[in-house]
Chain A
Amino acid sequence: MRSGVRRGLAAIALPTALVAGWEGYRALALALDNTWPGTDVALPVAVRGTGNAQQFPHTWDVIMAFGRPYRGAGETLGAYLLGQVGFTLREVGVGFALGGLLGFALGTLFAHSRLAERSLLPYVVASQTVPFIAFAPIVVLAVNSVDWLPRWWGVAVLSTYLVFFPMTVNTLRGLRSASPQAEELLRSYRTSAWTRLWRLRVPAAVPYLFVGAKVGATAAVVGAIVGELSAPSSQGIGAALFAFGRVSNQSVQLFATVLVAAALGIVSYLAVSAAERAVAWRFTGRRGAS
């Protein structure tokens, strides 16, 4: 019971400190008129503006913004963003699934062929060193030119691109984690490499696959949101960030949208984490592992 209270306090300590720091700075900057006392040197961030144009809004103004119409009248910001979350989640889901499958397939290939590993893995690594945002518009345009794919698939492909790498690396590590003796045991039964893969290597890899999936889940959200910035569809959380960030009188909405984007990443991570807690112990025989 006591430890439950302590854990609860520990969990809210950081958000509380952040809000307190934010509001403290805001109050101080207003009191000092945005300059260091006794000088004309400006504070690093100025607190200016009123209403939706506030550049350093009250935290509660950001929260309240969800309940208010985001453009003069009509739909509330919360309802609007919820719709955009749905749009982005579809891209995230497809990107995560495709990236997961691609990563698993590549990892499996590398685990079974040193030649493939040596000839392809360096390029897989190199693929992640290219600034992703640099070619995002090219990918979106290329996918959009494919008639039979819905337009949002361009963004899903970008998401895939960020997901497949952690999945490849962790699949490879996981498939190699089975002990050589376990491999010999199955060989002593005259099993095929295929049987050994499914009976031994894949189950042994499950804890590693979850590590890859947890990294991949957040990467999928980043990929989708950044991808939407370069997509012409003007839908999704990334597009909303772009729209609110482009104008100076909707900064409160921008902050609110950033919160939603962050929540999307966290929820994706927690979803995989929950699946891991539900499933992974079956593969390790230990509850509460990792």
Chain B
Amino acid sequence: MLATRGATTPASGAGIVSLRGVSKTFGATVALQDVSLEVVEGGFVSLLGPSGCGKSTLLRAVADLVTPSTGSVEVAGKTASRARDNRDYGMVFQAATLFDWRTIRRNVELPLEIMGWPKARRRERAEQMLALVGLTEFADHRPPQLSGGMQQRVAIARALAFEPRLLLMDEPFGALDEITRERLNDELLAVWRRTQTTVLFVTHSIPEAVFLSSSVAVMSARPGRVIAEIAVDLPYPRTVETRESPRYFALVTEVREALRSAGA
């Protein structure tokens, strides 16, 4: 799993996530309206929109944690429900959602335990994952002993521990300070490039979306719709220079204008 990805934009493989005409209503509230979106395998796609635009609901529809009112969700060529059965995705939330009664190592092992992996194999994989996110020496610590940024890295290690094809992230760095957030952006890209996992990433930060993504899906305020898909043609690996390049600023501006045109 730790093969290194090519130095440029990821392969444009088959669609791993395919949403067609997805709507979701909660009572009288229309959270999502007729959303269609394709995520290609190996891509890094951000869902960007104002608070309450339904982007988290959309992510949960992919995760089969909410059922769309209409439309279809396909993940890895299957229904979302089958994809959940097959553990085709790992999930990271805004809060790290670590279990305080488990050590860091055993937090990473949690999905593997549930999936019935033998102990030795679990342990080995947890070590690999902690090395991947640079937290090897914290394996025996408890979550409250780690900073917010470190906790979120553990959550990423846990989500990737069973090698899902898809990583779903719901504003994972939204609660972190700007400095930590940028560092974790860099680390996430490094992990993504090493693991070749497709990422669907929810955020309300324009710079974050542009810096990370191969493509940004811009959503309107409620009812949520995808109003623009902007391909980000900045080359990978992205670095500090990327954040300072004219093309980066141009894309940030383009995304911002797309958001504004949606009345967001």
Q: List, in ascending order, chain A residues with CB within 8 A of B257's CB.
A: none
Report whether A283 and B114 are in contact in the complex, using a CB–CB cutoff of 8 Å. Answer: no
In contact, B115 and A189 (Cβ under 8 angstroms): yes
User: Most chain-A Cβ atoms within 10 A of its Cβ — which of B63, B142, B143, B145?
Assistant: B142
Q: How far is the CB of B55 from chain A (nearest CB, A)?
A: 16
Contact residues on A (Cβ < 8 Å of other chain), bracket: 20 to 34
Chain B residues closer than 8 Å to A182, beta-carbon distance: 97, 99
Q: At the interface, yes or no: B125 with Cβ under 8 Å from chain A?
A: no
Partner of A179, one of B65, B85, B89, B95: B95
| Residues on B with beta carbons closer than 8 Å to the beta carbon of A184 | 60, 63, 65, 91, 93
Known: A190-B84, A190-B87. A285 touches B100 (CB 8 A): yes
Verify A285–B91 contact, CB threshold 8 A. no
- Of A154-162, A199-207, A247-255, the stretch lying at the interface with chain B is A199-207
Q: Is the CB of A206 within 8 A of B101?
A: yes
Chain A at the B interface: mostly helix, strand, loop or mixed?
helix
Q: Does A278 contact B (CB under 8 A)?
A: no
Q: Is the CB of B101 within 8 A of A283?
A: yes
Given contacts A181-B93, A184-B65, contact A285 B143 (CB under 8 A): yes
A246 within 8 A of B: no
Q: Which residues of B contact A190 (CB under 8 A)?
A: 84-85, 87
- Which residue of chain B has the shortest Cβ distance to A206 in the bound complex? B101
Task: Check if B91 sits within 8 Å of A286, measured CB to CB.
Answer: no
Q: Which residues of B contact A203 (CB under 8 A)?
A: 99, 101
Could you give, for residues 175-197 of chain A, a 1 whenever the CB lies within 8 Å of some chain B CB and a 0 otherwise?
00001011011111111000100
0/1 interface trace, chain B 75-110, chain A, CB 8 Å (1 if under)? 000000000110101110111010111000000001
| Contact across chains for A181 and B114 when beta carbons are under 8 A apart | no
Using Cβ atoms and an 8 Å threshold, which residues of chain A touch B207? none
By the criterion of a CB under 8 Å from any partner CB, how many residues of chain B are at the interface? 24
B59-70 to A contact mask, C-beta < 8 Å, 1/0 = 010010100000
Given known A284-B101, A285-B145, A286-B144, contact A188–B65 (CB-CB < 8 A): yes
Tell whether, in the assembled complex, residue B87 and residue A189 are in contact, meaning their CB atoms are under 8 Å apart: yes
- Chain A residues near B100 (CB-CB < 8 A): 283-286
Give the CA-CA distance A190 to B91 in the complex, in Å.
Answer: 13
Shortest Cβ gap from B120 to chain A (Å)? 21
A282 to B100, CA, bound (A): 8
B93: nearest residue on chain A (CB-CB)? Answer: A181
| Residues of chain B within 8 A of A181, CB atoms compared | 93-95, 97
- B81 (CB) vs chain A CBs: closest residue: A190
CB closest chain-A residue, reference B146: A285
CB of A253 to closest CB in B, whole Å: 48
Are B114 and A199 in contact, CB atoms less than 8 angstroms apart?
yes
CB-defined contacts of B148 to chain A, threshold 8 Å: none
Interface centre among A182, A184, A206 (most CB of B within 10 A): A184
B65 touches A187 (CB 8 A): yes
Q: Contacts of B60 on A, CB cut-off 8 Å?
A: 184
**Inter-chain contact A188/B63, CB cutoff 8 Å:** yes
**Chain B, range 140-175, C-beta contacts under 8 Å to A:** 142-145
CB–CB B114/A179 < 8 A: no
Considering the complex, which residues of chain A in the window 237-281 have a beta carbon less than 8 Å from any beta carbon of chain B?
none
B111 in contact with A189 (CB, 8 Å) = yes
Residues of B within 8 A of A285 (CB): 100-101, 142-145
Q: Which residues of B contact A284 (CB under 8 A)?
A: 100-101, 144
**CB within 8 Å of B: which residues of A?**
179, 181-182, 184-191, 195, 199-200, 203-204, 206, 282-286
**B residues lining the A interface (CB < 8 Å):** 60, 63, 65, 84-85, 87, 89-91, 93-95, 97, 99-101, 110-111, 114-115, 142-145
A-B pairs, 4 with minimum CB distance: A285-B142, A285-B100, A283-B101, A285-B144
**20 sample A-B contacts, Cβ–Cβ < 8 Å, listed by A number:** A181-B93, A181-B97, A184-B63, A184-B65, A184-B91, A184-B93, A185-B93, A186-B114, A187-B65, A188-B63, A188-B90, A188-B91, A189-B111, A190-B87, A191-B114, A199-B114, A283-B101, A284-B100, A285-B101, A285-B143
